[in-house]
Amino acid sequence: MKKILFPINKLKLSEKYIIKKIFNINLKNLKKIYILGNIKKIKLIKKILINYNLLKKNNIFNIDIYFIKYKKIYILKKKINKIQIIKYIYLKKLYIYNFIRIKKYIYLKKYKKIYKINLLINLFLGNIKLYKLYYLNKYIK
């Protein structure tokens, strides 16, 4: 599963530049795009993801997008005609400063699974890792 980190807050946005950055890759195994930056720019990303021809050519209709902003993670699901925010998570103990690496764990309970998110963020390098951990047997305190 290929994962792409796209740090919006580092870029001067233009549609051509974003398209080049996101789609100048082999899309066959692309499943996730991580976007670090301003949630208000979702409309621009939405327009590109929906209209860009490579999505149709490669039959990619399910791309997960993670927007990280301040103390929230916005998890978006790319569908055929629209992008939908399916969940956002408050990061109660996560504080992000420039060039400081922070490592925290968040637990997202969804259906009968627990997703353990290992958030390793360095705003200079832009490292984010997401792991699906295990099925929910009891509960997390």
Check pLDDT > 50 for residue 59.
no
Question: Does any domain span residue 101?
Answer: yes
* Interacting residues of 35 by C-beta distance below 8 A, sequence separation 6+: 6, 7, 8, 45, 65, 66, 67, 68
Question: Does any domain span residue 128?
Answer: yes
Question: Does any domain span residue 8?
Answer: yes
Question: Does any domain span residue 104?
Answer: yes
Q: For residues 69 and 104, give the distance between their C-alpha atoms in angstroms, rounded to a whole number.
A: 15
Question: Does any domain span residue 125?
Answer: yes
Domain region containing 115: 2-135
What is the number of domains present in the chain?
A: 1
Q: What tens digit of pLDDT does each residue of 91-106 get?
A: 333 333 222 333 444 4
Question: Does any domain span residue 127?
Answer: yes
Q: Residue 73 corresponds to which amino acid?
A: I
Give 21-57 as a DSSP string: HHHSS--TTEEEEEEES-GGGHHHHHHHHHH-HHHHH
CB 73 within 8 A of CB 106: yes
Confidence bin at 21 (pLDDT 50/70/90)? low
